[in-house]
Amino acid sequence: MASGVALCTVDSLAGGAWLGVNDAGLVVGLLNRTVAGDQVPAKPSRSRGQVVPAALAATSADAALLLVAGLATSGMAPFTLVACDAQATRIVAWTGRDLLNLPADVVRCSSGLGDARVDAARRQAWAELTTPQITAAQQDAWHCNRGGDDGAAWVLMRRPGARTVSRTIVTVDGAGIALDEVLLDAAGVGGRRTRVASARP
C-alpha cells in the first residue's frame, strides 16, 4: 500500500522536477516539447517543473493524468508528460493551448532544435537495439547510442553548446523505490552509479 512517499530529481537552476517515482510504483517524467505550431509563451508565467510533483500525488498513471488535466497549465511552456505504472503507460502533451492524449509509445524524444530533428533517428536506434522483451542492458545500449553523423540526433547527444551530461535510473521493485544517477564526461563515458534518493526499508 502506498504511504505517500515520492522521490524527484530537482533542477538546480529552476527548482522544478522532471522525473520522479512514488511508493505506489508510479513513475512520471517530463520532456520539453519543441514542435512546430505549438504556442510558446514569450515569458512563461508558470514552471513546467511543477507538473511532475503534482502528478506524483496519484497512485496510478490514469489518476496522474487526471491530476495534470486539473492543473492550470496555461502560462507554461509546452511539454510532454509520460506516466507509467505496472499496468499502463499514459502520455499527454501540453501544446501551449491544448492538453492532448498521445499514443503510449515506448520511446519519446525531445530536442531544443525541434523534436522532429531527433525523433526518427532515435526510434530507429531503439528498433535496432531492443527486442520485444526489453532488458535493462538493451536500454543502457540505447542510452549510449551515437549512431549516424548528426550528433544532435544521437541519444547520447552532443552538439555545439550542449551535450548529454547524466543518466538517471529509476528502480521500482519489492524492496521499494530509488533514483540513481550516472554522470557522463565530455566523451560520454559514465562514472560510478550514485544513489540520489531512496525509500527502501
Question: What are the structural domains of the chain?
Answer: 1-105 (3.60.60.10)
Residue whose cell numbers read 536500454: 139
Strand partners, 31: 80
At 163 the three-state DSSP class reads strand
- Could you give the C-alpha distances from 3 to 83, 95, 173, in angstroms and in order? 19, 33, 15
pLDDT value, residue 16: 84
Task: Give the distance, in angstroms, between the CA of residue 127 and the centroid of all CA atoms in the same chain.
Answer: 19
d(CA 138, CA 141): 5
d(CA 151, CA 163): 9
- Give percent of the chain above pLDDT 90: 82
Handedness of CA 111, 154, 55, 199 (dihedral sign): negative
**DSSP per-residue letters across 85-110:** -SS-EEEEEE-SS-EEEE---S----
pLDDT value, residue 1: 40
Alpha carbons within 13 A on the beta-carbon side of 60: 5
- The amino acid that residue 10 corresponds to is V
What residue ranges of the chain have pLDDT lower than 70? 1-3, 12-15, 201
Task: Give the distance, in angstroms, between the CA of residue 183 and the centroid of all CA atoms in the same chain.
Answer: 17
pLDDT value, residue 65: 95
Are 19 and 9 within 8 A, CB to CB?
yes
Nearest to 188 by CA among 159, 39, 180, 116: 159
Residue whose cell numbers read 530507429: 124
Query: Which H or E run includes 66?
Result: helix 61-69
Does the global pTM surpass 0.75?
yes
Query: Which H or E run includes 112?
Result: none
Residue whose cell numbers read 557522463: 184
List pLDDT tens digits, range 115-160: 999 999 999 999 999 999 999 999 999 999 999 999 999 999 999 9
